[in-house]
Chains A and B, each alone.
Chain A
Amino acid sequence: MTAQVRIVPDRLQTGFARFLRSWEALLIVVLVLIFLANSFASPYFLNVWNLSDATFNFTEKAMIAFAMAMLIIAGEIDLSVASIIALASTAMGIAMSAGFGTPVLVGVGLTVGLLCGAVNGFLVAGLKLPSIVVTIGTMSLFRGVSYIILGDEAFTGYPESFAFFGQGYVWWVVSFELVLFALLAVAFWALQHRSTFGRAVYAIGNNPTAALFSGIRVDRVRFILFLLTGLTSGIAAVCLTSRLGSTRPSIAAGMELEVVTMVVLGGVNILGGSGSIPGVVLAAFIMGMVTFGFGLLNVPGIVMSIFLGFLLIGVIAVPKLLRRK
């Protein structure tokens, strides 16, 4: 309408200026502070083997947290992940009792995870039920099946080669779980931030109707997201079962809330629409370092959970309060 052509620039801020104001930058500061506090508080903290051990505090949870982050960005949630671990672990126990070897056990764990994810995905995307209700339901259901099968019993006696997933080291202090965590972090980063699928996830989380009106196959994306949380829960089940060397029906009890905490601490909006995988990676390290540091100081577990609660609320509240001035 005006005579001259208006040039609208692609971006106003450079990548670095954007980063400085980001949630991830804040998390890095928090992580450094916790790291410093820990190294002053205990002489045993700065020991590579101790630090390597500490990563087991978060690697399994974080594997699920990556998929959970995408699901929450899309405006859904999966509270059944810890129960999927219980069911997958139980299935692996049955397979082990039947005499199957390590490759089959891993296959069973991952398949059960995927199937549980497919059940959730069908109920949410196919039948259009709210995910919070569906997964509270399957949370009881999946673990309930485990309890029926196992009762007070436990599966023990997993083969020696199976121990590698939860106890093995790839190189020096670098455990298999840590490598898997890093690989999954990169894979999920690429999926969320560099793929068309990730873009669809953001669009659905911000406005599912407009996403549908833009030709996004909303229900298919939702279904795949539930498959992903199921699959990563299956992977976590393999690692955790291997690390513990046994399966009880109470395995991973309450882990779903720790996973959600990790995701929210990582800067993912619990209402959907925004968040990043690097944020979740940082949150995983923060939670792991806090747990480890308190462990070295012999702080009881309940105090740790109180501190994590404060940390979660604090990290979310402080920027809001500062902005309000």
Chain B
Amino acid sequence: MQPVLSLRGISKSFPGVKALQNVQLDLYPGQVTALVGENGAGKSTIVKVLTGIYQPDGGSIAVDGAVTSFASPDAAAKAGVTAIHQETVLFDEMTVAENIWLGHAPRGRFGLIDLAAQRAGAERLLSSIGARLDPDLKLKELGIASKHLVAIARALSIEARVVIMDEPTAALSHKEIHELYELVDTLKAQGKAILFISHKFDEIFRIADRYTVFRDGQFVGEGVMADVTESQLVQMMVGRAVDQIFPTRAHNIGAEVLKVAGYAHPTEFEDIGFTLHRGEILGFYGLVGAGRSEVMQALFGITKPSKGACRIDGKIAVLRSTHDAIEAGIVYVPEDRGKQGAVKGLPIYQNVTLPSLGRTSRAGFLKMADEFALTRSYTRRLDLRAASLDQDVGLLSGGNQQKVVIAKWLATKPRVVILDEPTKGIDIGSKAAVHEFMAELAAEGLAVIMVSSEIPEVLGMSDRVIIMREGRIVREVAGDQMTPEALVRAAAGIEEAA
């Protein structure tokens, strides 16, 4: 079978980083190819090459065997390559139909957009993928899963032959993920070549036909899914065997640090109360939208609770701003790394010292030598991989950006560390490093809160787990009660068979 799209010898460098070195990739019609690799392996870069955003420094791209080049995103789209991104790029203020047809809308008289044809076309495309959506709804009224459907309909509207899905399930619920799988099957049946990027192995084994592995910007191998096992894939990704066991911890739980009582918010959560101790890791489990992040952001002084009190070491802490929270010793590693965590455009050391500027300055004036010293001590401990400490954080891989954000908070010498989905979207190697690190923090006497939607992570890391549903704490489990069933039942609101 001839591949629709074939890349050979593709290289791409950025200042200080060889993002891709001589990699290859083949995509076949009617087949799903999974692209796997750790963060920083070059997956995002190859997607940008495929969609004409980056021009490779060397190598060739062939469509149906004929060598071509994607000089612009438009050229890639004309060749039938389209991508559905991690954060889907669509327009909130436009309708579903407008989003699907933007840039290539059917034209009527005087070159104006033929609204009727646009609407009918949108309906046809949506129904071809089994989506029941009103084409006249504004996009902002839809959930993430529905937005994905719109993005896919848009891909079909330009008669895409190659569909790239970059972590499409990252923000989807269980049910929505299954609907996506069905959709992928539909696209396969229509003969589309699909490039599927995911960190979740169960997903890859469920829907992919073939795999390609990258490591550190290099091609490692490819093949048919049926011939490979999970551990073989992991081996190829990391170049070594990774034990996926969670770190063993000495559970030395000390005095109470944080006590939250009666926290409430008009729309997001109600009657939240819990305690947290030194040396403890407290897990927060729940479905997306259960209000976990909102509670944490209230503790971090971002959203303001309407009721309730928070005590640190028994003293009432007034948390009116993030500044207050940091002063009180509470820090928050947000889920949305790109938007809330790292300040892209600023160098690594300036990111790390941002909340600690009081300590690296005198009378308001910066002492840069101190800034570098502080940054060095924490980034070394976290094994940060970067060209230099004054490199733009935006140029680092996701896992290394996360390390910078964590270093930034540790440098403030906090008492309570809140991590919101700390390993979401990062590779297995970095994941293990983050887990080990959390265990270390707890061992040093810090109090840790971990919000996570991954059951193995919650169970493997936590001393206790609080389960939230629809803005309320529904259950707290510890010890033997910490089972996957207990978590799932409580989160979904299924009554305990007493």
Contacts and interface: CB of A to CB of B under 8 A. Distances in A.
Nearest to A203: B343
B358 interface: yes
A203 B365 contact: no
A214 B357 CA distance: 11
Contacts of A274: 345
B379 interface: yes
A294 interface: no
Given A10-B389, A194-B366, A206 B346 contact: yes
A195 interface: yes
B323 A8 contact: no
In this complex, the interface size class of chain B, counting residues with CB under 8 Å from chain A, is 35 or more
A8 B322 contact: no
Contact of A196 (B325, B361, B390): B361
Nearest to A193: B366
Interface stretch (B333-341, B468-476, B477-485): B333-341
Nearest to B346: A206
Contacts of B343: 203, 206-207, 210-211, 214
Contacts of A214: 322, 343, 354-355, 408
Given A199-B366, A203-B346, A215-B326, A10 B354 contact: no
A213 B332 CA distance: 8
B306 to A, nearest CB: 20
A183 B334 CA distance: 42
Nearest to B391: A12
A212 interface: yes
Contacts of B321: 215, 217
Contacts of B408: 214
A199 B357 contact: yes
Contacts of A196: 357-358, 361, 364-366
B383 A10 contact: no
Nearest to B242: A1
Interface string A148-164: 00000000000000000
B206 interface: no
A100 B387 CA distance: 62
Contacts of B323: 215-217
Contacts of A12: 16, 387-388, 390-391
B102 interface: no
Contacts, number: 111
B385 interface: yes
A203 B365 CA distance: 16
B366 A1 contact: no
- Among A1, A200, A213, residue most surrounded by chain B Cβ atoms (within 10 Å): A213
Contacts of A205: 345
Nearest to B368: A194
B372 interface: yes
Given A1-B429, A197-B364, A213 B322 contact: yes
A200 B354 CA distance: 8
A207 B342 CA distance: 8
Interface in B352-402: 353-355, 357-358, 361, 364-366, 372, 376, 379-380, 383-391
A208 B253 CA distance: 37
Given A206-B345, A210-B341, A199 B322 contact: no
Contact of B354 (A6, A9, A190, A211): A211
A2 interface: yes
Interface in A172-215: 190, 194-197, 199-200, 202-203, 205-207, 209-215
Interface residues of A, number: 33
A7 B376 CA distance: 9
Contacts of B325: 215
Given A10-B372, A10-B389, A214-B322, A199 B354 contact: yes
A287 to B, nearest CB: 27
Interface string A1-30: 110011111111000000000000000000
A12 B391 CA distance: 9
Contacts of B326: 215
A273 interface: yes
Given A212-B322, A214-B343, A1 B383 contact: yes
- Among A202, A206, A212, residue most surrounded by chain B Cβ atoms (within 10 Å): A206
Contacts of A203: 343, 346, 350, 354
B302 interface: yes
A209 B354 contact: no
A67 B366 CA distance: 20
Nearest to B372: A10
B344 interface: yes
B302 A207 contact: no
A314 B393 CA distance: 30
A8 B389 contact: yes
B144 interface: no
Interface string B293-310: 000000010100000000
Nearest to A206: B345
Contact of B340 (A11, A206, A210, A217): A210
Contacts of B387: 8, 12
Given A6-B380, A213-B300, 12 more contacts: A1-B433, A2-B383, A12-B16, A12-B388, A195-B364, A199-B366, A207-B343, A209-B339, A213-B302, A213-B340, A213-B341, A216-B355
11 contacts: A2-B383, A6-B380, A6-B384, A8-B385, A11-B389, A12-B391, A213-B322, A213-B334, A213-B340, A216-B355, A274-B345
